[in-house]
Chains A and B, each alone.
Chain A
Amino acid sequence: MTGCGLARAAAGLVAGLLLFAGTAVADIKVGVIYDLTGAFAAGGSKAAAIGNRIAVDMINEKGGVEGHKIIAIEADAQSKTDVAINEAERLLNDAKVDLLMGVFSSAQCVPMAARVDAAKKFMWANVCVASAVFKDKNLQYVFRPQVHSDQFGEVSCSFIAENAEAKLKKDVKAVKVAIIHEDGPYGVGVAMGNELKCKELGMQIALKEGYAATSPDLSALVTKLRRAQPDVILHTGYNPDITLFLRQAKEAGLKWSALIGHGAGYGQIDKLIETFKDDADYIYNVDPVAAQLLDPKTLAAGLGEITAEMVKRYKAETNAREVPTHVSMGFNQAWILFTDVLPRAIKTYGGFDPEALRKAALETDIPDGGTIQGYGVKFNPPGHPMAGQNARSSPVVMQFIKGQTKVVWPVTIRTADPVLPLPAGHAYAR
């Protein structure tokens, strides 16, 4: 073989090795857990799962993360905590996923996060909101860009306090509030936030009660509310309890000035309108904002287009008229991981093992306006009482006005003036 031939052979070998190395780029296996069946599925979990899936598709269409394709292995938690935990174990130990993400129910999130962290695996919580997931747990490998339940509780009380005199024509200290909630970690967490903040603001707590989300009858609770006569009802529930409450409240003649829900079933405006028609008008919902409601000009460049694409794909898949906020939650948190944390883990820390992901997550520093839901991302560091929770997340108050979702708080981003109290003639108006 001539020198020239040897050089050609060597070049070919190198090229071949490079080609082999190129095709051998490892996929990133992501275990995605949502409730695709069971009561939580229609309460927003399925919508979040679709949002999550759209994010994966869009990333893969752009070539993946640093050349690594995202392989999402979906699991159905069936709205059962034990199934969720078993699926998490299966995904981590049998399917050997690199990380877990998703999870709708706080009842699933609390034990799952503790287990995953103890096993030193990486978990990215997209939807569940209970503060109890992180509070005083000092989790090292679990992160949540999503808002937490204490914030939910605080926001609704702040909204009422700011509007008490102008809208309710009452001093804030004269406002009577009732707090009702499902008795899982999600409902208890939000209700605790409600109670602390409303008391701090000087409001009267006329009633605070929990109930089982699967209760076949809430008439006793409705009767108690009739006796307490609150101006505002703060409600945290899933489905079917929300629809059962609204139905029995109407039949019993319960009236209020404002009903403020906190996510889950209250985020499903299409379903509420389908069931209650005009009676669903003017209900409030505290949640992270549905991305399509924000003015793209207030966000970082390019995020408006990403939101538009998400909305387009969701509507194409579901034929939905309104895009629930859970879609944004599922999409946004996944997008943050894929476009910010994962690239840093690969480039700076050499891969996507739990340690690399943890270090990369702790360095996340997205300013407000840097995600499609408006809030920034900066995780509380280890040692913090809420270590792993996004310190920059924030929910908003939305109101269903004439069948459309409007942002009514905070004032800086609101798209409508809140209708408060309920207008005369409304089924629940005093």
Chain B
Amino acid sequence: MDCQLDMFFLEAILNGVLLAGLLALLALGLNLVFGVIDVVWICYAELVMVGMYGINSAYKGGLPFPLAALIGIALVAIAGALLHLLVIRPVLDTRPINQLLVTGGVLFFLQAAATMAFGIDFRNLGIRLGSISLFDMNFALARIITFLVALAAMLALWLFLTRTYLGTAIRAIAQDRQIMPLMGVDSRRLYLVTSAIGGGLAGLAAALMVLQYDIYPQIGLQFGPLVFMICVLGGLGNIIGGFIAAFIISQFIAVGSSCFHTEWGYAVAFLFFMLAIFIRPQGLFGGK
């Protein structure tokens, strides 16, 4: 163990906080969908990949980045709604394993489709936002923006769910899927809206990730397992729990990587996850 409590250590910790922003944003949509529809989108990270390709195509097609990002967000929101309509809804009343398997099938389908459509090459937008320096520490502007957008998205989602009629209805159906339809709530419509919002959040993550990562068909594998771990740690379906868990895990990675070998950062994070789930199988912050 070699923890040197210097400026570089602080830089690593703050970079961990910034990474948490992205992971929290990725967990947000997944948790929303599970919390409301009770279905785990195994293919969530692949929807992000679809958004990244969409943004790349729009940007390379000559559109300014903000417009390309909006197109990407809309694209994945539509993809989320279609995923629910075509894949989830037919198996919604069957055993949970069926829902898990069909979204797993979508994962492989999207990877294969992206490979056929876009090839194997790594792509990127070529946009460099630079970095800012603070006391001999450097932070990528793209990561800072991602962090701020993640906070804003969290706040916006909370306001939507608590201050709007539609949001209140979504929370209500999440609390009792059997009773609410008897009271006249159109659960099919609410599930569709929730899926579109979940997809839109994946699209938002895609818009931020294209500024930091190359685009390739398997990029979902780079993030998928980590995001699922965060969702489970926070309590699957618990939006606030997932948000906090993202910060906990990313700090384990940052501090673990700084004090031990880099690869140990992830090992330490996963070890903590296993211990936490052993003690609290429902996640650190319980159900929904």
Contacts and interface: CB of A to CB of B under 8 A. Distances in A.
Interface of A: 36-39, 41-42, 46, 79, 183, 209-212, 214-221, 223-224, 226-227, 239-240, 243-244, 247-248, 250-253, 271, 275, 277
Contacts of A42: 120-122, 216
Given A42-B121, A220-B254, 6 more contacts: A37-B217, A240-B122, A240-B213, A251-B130, A253-B131, A275-B124
Nearest to B2: A224
Contacts of A239: 122, 214, 216
A80 to B, nearest CB: 10
Nearest to B141: A251
A210 B138 contact: no
Interface string B4-19: 1010100110011001
Contacts of B31: none
Contacts of B217: 37-38
B262 A220 contact: yes
Contact of A271 (B121, B142, B258, B263): B121
Interface in B241-262: 253-254, 257-258, 261-262
A247 B130 CA distance: 10
Interface centre among A215, A216, A271 (most CB of B within 10 A): A216
Contacts of A37: 112, 115, 120, 217
Contacts of B187: none
Contacts of A244: 213-214
Contacts of A183: 263
19 contacts: A36-B120, A37-B115, A38-B120, A79-B218, A212-B263, A212-B266, A216-B222, A216-B223, A219-B12, A219-B19, A223-B8, A224-B262, A226-B8, A227-B8, A239-B122, A240-B219, A251-B139, A251-B143, A271-B121
A215 B266 contact: yes
Nearest to B112: A37
Contact of A223 (B12, B19, B124, B140): B12
A84 to B, nearest CB: 15
A38 B220 CA distance: 11
A251 B4 contact: no
B262 A243 contact: no
A44 to B, nearest CB: 11
Contacts of B19: 216-217, 219
A220 B257 contact: yes
B15 A275 contact: no
B185 interface: no
B133 interface: yes
Interface residues of B, number: 44
A252 B218 CA distance: 26
Nearest to B267: A212
A164 to B, nearest CB: 27
Contacts of A227: 4, 6, 8
B150 to A, nearest CB: 15
B126 interface: yes
Nearest to A214: B222
Contacts of B4: 227
Nearest to A180: B262
Nearest to A41: B120
B276 to A, nearest CB: 21
Contacts of B16: 220
A280 to B, nearest CB: 13
B120 A46 contact: yes
